[in-house]
Amino acid sequence: EEELALYVPETPAQGSGFSHKHPLVGVIMGSDSDLPVMLPAARILDRFKIPYELTIVSAHRTPDRLVEYARSASSRGLRTIIAGAGGAAHLPGMVAAMTALPVIGVPVKGSSLDGVDSLHSIVQMPRGIPVATVAINGGMNAGLLAVRILGAGIPHLFADIDVYLRGLESEVVAKVEKLEEV
């Protein structure tokens, strides 16, 4: 069982070159039932040694907590927020309305409408308030997008992303070579 209380990963910023130990990315979700979808985002941040925090903020069940979280995010040192929610998924959009930080929305697949409800709720933001929306259950890509947002201004992180991409390339090349042996 993963600990859901606000937490910093085991290996916060070691070797990453970040000068402070405060989280740079906020990973939030509407319910603990979203955790399986959001954990891949956290694992990506672990992999790139980016300090983050992970917690539950529900737009509907904890509206005051939502306001407090979003309003304090940038002054607490966060640089981007990943927000996942299912159903009538207002969390990412409401957070984006209350902070100037970039917000990445993760539509979580619910039981009745297969996540299309969540996708539409998150992606159809009104003019002026953008949310960068990833695929339904796209937690991993949300993590990678957060890394890219940070990496654009941090050369060694930018280089790490390139190494990651070369790794993906090598995996496919290895599979191609294996297929040629068949």
Q: Between residue 84 and residue 143, which ones bind ligand RP5 under the rule CB under 6 A?
A: 85-87, 108, 110
Q: Does 58 bind ligand RP5 (CB under 6 A)?
A: yes
Q: Judged by CB under 6 A, how many residues of this single chain contact ligand RP5?
A: 11
Q: Does 30 bind ligand RP5 (CB under 6 A)?
A: yes
Pair of tokens at residue 102 = 């970039």
23 versus 87: smaller Cβ distance to ligand RP5: 87
- Choosing from 13, 34, 57, 138, the residue that interacts with ligand RP5 (CB under 6 A) is 34
DSSP three-state, residue 26:
strand
Closest CA to 78 of 43, 46, 106, 53: 53
Contact (CB, 8 A) for 25 and 146? yes
The Cα–Cα gap between 68 and 66 comes to 5
Q: Does 16 bind ligand RP5 (CB under 6 A)?
A: no
In the complex, least distance from residue 120 CB atom to ligand RP5, rounded to whole angstroms: 14
16 versus 58: smaller Cβ distance to ligand RP5: 58
Task: List strands edge to edge, sheet with 132-133.
Answer: 52-56, 25-29, 80-86, 103-108, 132-133
- Choosing from 31, 55, 62, 141, the residue that interacts with ligand RP5 (CB under 6 A) is 31
Q: Does 51 bind ligand RP5 (CB under 6 A)?
A: no
In the complex, least distance from residue 114 CB atom to ligand RP5, rounded to whole angstroms: 13
Pair of tokens at residue 59 = 């737009």
In the complex, least distance from residue 58 CB atom to ligand RP5, rounded to whole angstroms: 6
User: Which run of H or E residues covers position 107?
Assistant: strand 103-108
Backbone phi, then psi, for 108, in 5-degree steps? -100, 135
- Judged by the rule CB under 6 A, the positions of this chain that interact with ligand RP5 are 29-31, 33-34, 58, 85-87, 108, 110
